[in-house]
Amino acid sequence: MTGYIQEMRALVGHRTLIQCAASILCIDREGRLLLGKRADNHLWGYSGGSVEIDEKVEDCARRELYEEMGLIAEEIEFFCVNSGAEAHYVYPNGDEVSNVEIVYICRKYRGTPACSDGEMEALRFFGPDEVDLEEIMPPIRNVVERYIRSLEACPAQSSN
């Protein structure tokens, strides 16, 4: 943890913070979703993190994709906002957040997926039928489920 959230944690400890976050669902040419197995809780999640002071949300999403998965997003498109009780989370270290997460989809990127900042212990592309929602981080399960449902409603998106 760095930057603004780290400064806030020094002041409030583990108390709930409202956290503005940006994330990317990275999709390969076969329509598979890139997920990373987190080192802190061993659950799967997509790339994302806290927006820093005066940082554009889109820039945060791109930065997090690069830092956590080693990929450079060439094009991103808005997918959804994840907030409310479902997005509330207590990290294994006791830090508590009420997330307001802006989620993008990226289908055009450069690079090879690689764990680079220590947050992820493994990376893997999952087909829609391979995702076990019970193994997804609780505050983002509804986003992953929504993405999978969008593929079912519009199958052409899963095979660009």
Ordered domains of the chain (ranges, CATH): 18-155 (3.90.79.10)
- Indicate the burial class of 132 (C-beta count within 10 angstroms; 0-12, 13-18, 19 or more): exposed
Q: What are phi and psi of 74, to 5 degrees?
A: -90, -40
State mean pLDDT over 28-55. 96
Q: What is the pLDDT of residues 86-96, one digit of tens each?
A: 999 999 999 99
State mean pLDDT over 48-74. 97
- The Cα–Cα gap between 133 and 109 comes to 25
pLDDT of 6 higher than 80? yes
State mean pLDDT over 24-38. 96
Instruction: Give, as one character, the DSSP assignment of residue 30.
Output: T
pLDDT of 20 higher than 60? yes
